[in-house]
Structures are given as structure tokens and as C-alpha cells.
């Protein structure tokens, strides 16, 4: 009997020890689960950290990063938003390195046109089944479509901004250009070509002011190609029946027209080395009548520099002049109608190589929505002269004063109404191939064209041959 009792007691002790070990093991697994990977059974209120890689979206955005993190933690006491700032120049490289290592941030601020590139890596996070109805209904439908590929939703838009050109009002009027008529009615390539000829000033053989300068150094060349292609009958790299569009004869004509502007002397012959910072400096110092790509925030930046000049503030751009900034539309080509190229940039969600826990995904969605809506959206759009794309952002900004020129605002609204539609129907694999072709073939050949090392026909032939290899004979436009 005593022996039986001893056996029973021994078994109970073993059972209690085993239970204790299992309990500790489970507790340890829950607490040590990585923020961005590994399945877990975390409770909804368990501590968690969400990481974000954010550039200077507007002039004052990065100054508020600490406050943004603090406000997020106050709203969600168990959550921490850890923000890594990046310059625009470093943003793509930093993100690519992290993605290639399989350790991307939970959220990164990028253009919607980059979603296809990263979706092909398998490291984007589809939040379409996690977002709430209230979140979705807060966004304007069109910009939200730009954050989709197929049926997947990969983040939230911060704004939808028309790509346009920027002009110096005084120089435009001196050249006899009716900029108000251009804002209202647009202009053709031929009209644009003649206008920038008039705006080009020479002193002997030296050009002291160019009619038009566009940043085309490095990946900035992508902007020139895509923005102008929109108004040349190619609003997307793919037609509606998913044929690659840049093998159209219109693409060849667009390349020929680009060479014309350089050969006219209206654009510098070193355009391939002009960076975004250089072209803006040229504009503020009176070396350019029209600049591109232009963004809405340029008006605010020009106004701020004007105020510094008036106050004799030494922080004004060196050798700059007073500039009354005018928004201008991109010209149309070959009888095509205007289809505005738009920048729909936003907070894109990543998952990394390991599958994140369900609770972590929910927390990432909370953070992305927090950044893209309400007060933060209102302040971001006000600082950048950008239109709000959320109801909550518009409500939060109703008492904010935005000193945008009424003529420029009217053009902004007009161009947004004429925006090219989003193309979530383009499969990820096609989008990835198009991105690769753009970066590996089109951009380097385009820069060779700008430097007069190859002809438009040679570039077109190279692009067409590469497109056939990528998409097949039946996968490209033939006209």
C-alpha cells in the first residue's frame, strides 16, 4: 500500500514538473516571437513593434517623426512604431538591400509603381483580408486602386498627385506664352516645342537659360519616359489586352521628339547627368524657364525661398532669384488626349521571408492606416500642397490654411480628373518583367540617346528586341 502511494506521489510530481516546463516553454515562445516573423499565439494586447522606412515625404515630414511615434503609442499603448528615416536618394537602395536580405521593414513609403517590383520577390504583405470596412471606406476609391496588384492590397495611399511641369511666370510672359490658356486648354508637342525655343536665351554660343530642363540622371529617367508616354497614347507599359506597349511606333516618335528638343538647343545636351537637385537649382537661379518633373510642393518651396530673399536670409539658395511659380500640364503627342500621369505614393506593407503572426499583421495594418489617414495625412498634404485622399484627412485639414495659387489649384484639380486609370489587372510577373526591362535596357539606352551616342531608331530597336525576349512575339504591340 505504501509502495502504491509512493508511486502515485512520484507520478504526480513528474506530472507537475512536466506541466510547469511546458507552461514555461509556451510562455517563452510567445514572448520571444519576432515582431516580423514566426507564427505565434500572441494576444491582441501583447507588446509588439512595427518598423517603418520613411523618406522626407514633404519638407517638414521628418521633423515630426518622434511625435508621430509618440502619438501612435498613445493610441495603441502596447505597440511601438520604430521609424528609420531615409533620404529620397537612399530610399530605394536601403529598401532593396533589406528586401534582398529577407528582412524588409514592415512599412515603407514608396510609389505605387514599385509595388509590382517588390511583389515579385514574395515579400510584400497582402492586407486585403485584414483591413476593416471602415478603413477602406475612408479612402477615395481611385487612389486606393493604385495600391493593388490583382486582387491583393499592399498598403494605403498618402496622396494622388498629378505629374506636371513648373514654369517661371515672368519668363513665360516675357516669351509671349499665355500660361493661363495653357493651364486651361493644354498644349500640343509642337506648341510646347515653339514655346521653349522662345524661352531659351543665349549669349553668343553660351546658353544662359534653357527653355526646358528635366532631371534624367539615373532612375530619374524613368519619370521622363513614363510621364511623356502617358500623353503619347501609352498610359501604361501594357495595353488593356496585356501587350507590352513600348514597342509601338508612338514610342519611337516620342524618342525622336526628345532628340528634337535637345537639337533645338532648348534642353541641355548633358541632360542625362542632370539630377533632381540640379534641375531645381537651375530653376531657382533663372537658368530654366520650365522645369520637370514638377510636384505641387515646388510652389511652396519657391515661395519659401522668395521670403528668404526678401528678408536677406543667407539660407536662401545661392544666386537664386524671385520666382512666381506656375503649374503647367505635360504636352500631348500625335493627337492623343491628355491622360495625366499621377504619383500615388503611400505606405506599402511588407512581410519578409518568414510568415508574420496574425496579430503582427493586424498591428502593421493599424500602423499603416494611422500614417495614411487623419491628422498625419492632413498635415502631410498641407505641407506639400497635396490633395487629401481620405475623408478623415479632409476633416482634419478643414481649418488648415494652404496658400496655394488659385490658378495652380484649378489645374491640379483638372489634371486629377483626367488621370490615367490604375491597372491592378496587370499580373505580377508581367509587371516585374517590365520593371526589369525598364531598368536594364530602357534607362541606359535612353541616357545614351540623350548624350547623342545612339539614334532614336537604335534605341527603339534595342527595346523591341528585349521586349520580344521578355514577352514573346505575341506579347508586344505591333503597329
Domains of the chain in start order, with CATH, are 48-162+343-417 (3.40.190.10), 164-339+427-475 (3.40.190.10)
Which three cell numbers mark 367? Answer: 500602423
Q: Are strands 79-85 and 48-54 parallel, antiparallel or unpaired?
A: parallel
The Cα-based distances of 186 to 229, 297, 334 in angstroms read: 16, 21, 14
Q: How far apart are CA 259 and CA 470, in angstroms?
A: 27
Predicted pLDDT at 42: 55
Q: Which residues of 97-108 are buried (b: 16+ CB within 10 A; e: fewer)?
A: ebbeeebbbbbb
Rounded distance between C-alpha atoms, residue 249 and residue 144, angstroms: 32
Backbone angles phi, psi at 211, to 5 degrees: -70, -35
Q: Nearest to residue 355, comparing CAs of 127, 47, 31, 36?
A: 36
DSSP annotation of 124: B
How many contiguous H segments (helices) and E segments (strands) does the chain have? 20, 12
What is the pTM (predicted TM-score) of this model?
Answer: 0.82
Question: Distance between alpha carbon 380 and the CA centroid of its chain, in Å?
Answer: 14
Name the maximum alpha-carbon separation found in the chain. 118
Tens digits of pLDDT across the chain (479 residues): 444 444 444 444 443 444 443 344 333 333 333 344 444 445 678 999 999 999 999 989 999 999 999 999 999 999 999 999 999 878 989 999 999 999 999 999 999 988 888 887 888 999 999 999 999 999 999 999 999 988 899 999 999 999 999 999 999 999 999 999 999 999 999 999 999 999 999 999 999 999 999 999 988 899 999 999 999 999 999 999 999 999 999 999 999 999 999 999 999 999 999 999 999 999 999 999 999 999 889 999 999 999 999 999 999 999 999 999 999 999 999 999 999 999 999 999 999 878 889 999 999 999 999 999 999 999 999 999 999 999 999 999 998 888 899 999 999 999 999 999 999 999 888 988 998 999 999 999 999 999 999 999 999 999 999 999 999 999 999 99
Site of grid cell 527595346: 463
Strands 107-111 and 342-349: antiparallel
Assign residue 334 a region (left: φ > 0; alpha: ψ between -120 and 50; beta: otherwise). left
Query: What pLDDT was estimated at residue 151?
Result: 85
Residue 197 is predicted with a pLDDT of 98
Q: Give the CA distances from residue 369 to residues 140, 349, 393, in Å, rounded to whole numbers and listed in that order.
A: 14, 11, 11
E strands in 312-381:
325-328, 342-349
pLDDT at residue 354 in the model: 80
What per-residue confidence (pLDDT) applies to 85? 96
Closest by Cα among 231, 149, 184, 181 to 435:
149
Q: How many CA atoms lie within 13 A of 390 on its CB side?
A: 26
Rounded Cα–Cα distance for residues 379 and 39 (Å): 36
What is the CA 115 to chain-centroid distance, rounded? 10
pLDDT digits (tens, 9 = 90+) for 85-104: 999 878 989 999 999 999 99
- The whole-angstrom separation of Cα 198 and Cα 211 is 7
State residue 32's pLDDT score.
32
Contact 156, 139 (CB under 8 A): yes
So what's the pLDDT on residue 229? 97
Choose among 401, 405, 377: nearest CA to 296: 405
Amino acid at each position: 500500500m505504501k509502495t502504491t502511494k509512493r508511486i502515485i506521489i512520484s507520478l504526480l510530481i513528474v506530472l507537475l514538473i512536466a506541466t510547469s516546463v511546458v507552461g514555461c516553454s509556451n510562455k517563452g515562445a510567445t514572448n520571444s516571437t519576432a515582431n516580423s516573423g514566426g507564427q505565434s499565439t500572441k494576444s491582441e494586447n501583447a507588446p509588439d513593434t512595427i518598423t517603418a522606412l520613411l523618406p522626407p515625404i514633404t519638407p517638414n515630414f521628418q521633423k515630426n517623426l518622434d511625435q508621430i511615434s509618440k502619438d501612435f503609442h498613445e493610441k495603441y499603448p502596447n505597440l511601438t512604431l520604430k521609424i528609420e528615416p531615409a533620404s529620397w536618394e537612399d530610399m530605394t537602395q536601403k529598401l532593396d538591400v533589406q528586401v534582398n536580405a529577407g528582412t524588409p521593414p514592415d512599412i515603407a513609403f514608396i510609389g505605387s509603381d514599385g509595388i509590382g517590383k517588390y511583389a515579385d520577390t514574395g515579400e510584400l504583405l497582402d492586407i486585403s483580408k485584414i483591413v476593416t470596412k471602415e478603413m477602406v471606406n475612408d479612402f477615395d476609391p481611385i487612389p486606393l486602386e493604385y495600391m493593388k496588384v490583382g486582387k491583393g492590397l499592399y498598403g494605403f495611399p498618402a496622396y494622388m498627385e498629378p505629374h506636371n511641369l513648373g514654369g517661371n511666370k515672368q519668363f513665360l510672359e516675357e516669351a509671349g506664352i499665355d500660361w493661363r490658356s495653357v493651364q486651361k486648354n493644354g498644349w500640343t508637342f509642337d506648341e510646347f516645342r515653339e514655346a521653349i525655343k522662345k524661352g531659351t536665351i543665349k549669349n553668343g554660343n553660351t546658353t544662359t537659360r534653357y527653355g526646358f530642363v528635366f532631371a534624367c540622371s539615373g532612375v530619374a529617367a524613368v519619370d521622363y519616359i513614363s510621364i511623356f508616354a502617358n500623353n503619347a497614347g501609352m498610359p501604361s507599359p501594357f495595353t488593356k489586352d496585356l501587350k507590352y506597349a513600348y514597342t509601338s511606333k508612338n514610342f519611337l516618335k516620342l524618342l525622336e521628339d526628345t532628340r528634337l528638343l535637345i537639337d533645338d538647343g532648348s534642353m541641355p545636351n548633358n541632360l542625362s547627368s542632370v539630377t533632381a537637385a540640379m534641375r531645381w537649382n537651375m530653376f531657382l537661379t533663372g537658368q530654366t524657364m520650365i522645369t520637370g518633373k514638377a510636384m505641387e510642393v515646388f510652389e511652396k518651396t519657391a515661395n519659401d525661398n522668395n521670403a528668404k530673399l526678401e528678408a536677406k536670409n543667407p539660407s536662401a539658395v545661392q544666386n537664386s532669384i524671385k520666382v512666381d511659380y506656375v503649374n503647367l500640364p505635360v504636352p500631348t503627342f500625335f493627337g492623343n488626349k491628355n491622360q495625366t500621369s499621377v504619383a500615388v505614393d503611400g505606405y506599402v506593407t511588407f512581410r519578409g521571408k518568414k510568415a508574420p503572426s496574425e496579430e503582427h499583421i493586424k498591428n502593421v495594418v493599424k500602423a499603416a492606416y494611422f500614417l495614411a489617414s487623419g491628422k498625419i495625412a492632413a498635415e502631410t498634404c498641407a505641407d506639400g500642397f497635396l490633395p487629401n485622399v481620405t475623408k478623415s484627412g479632409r476633416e482634419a485639414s478643414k481649418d488648415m490654411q494652404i496658400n496655394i495659387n488659385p490658378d495652380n489649384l484649378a489645374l491640379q484639380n483638372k489634371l486629377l480628373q483626367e488621370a490615367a486609370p490604375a491597372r491592378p489587372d496587370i499580373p505580377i510577373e508581367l509587371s516585374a518583367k517590365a520593371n526589369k526591362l525598364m531598368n536594364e535596357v530602357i534607362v541606359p539606352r535612353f541616357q545614351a540617346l540623350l548624350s547623342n551616342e545612339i539614334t532614336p531608331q537604335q534605341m527603339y530597336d534595342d527595346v523591341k528586341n528585349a521586349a520580344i525576349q521578355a514577352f514573346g512575339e505575341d506579347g508586344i504591340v505591333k503597329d
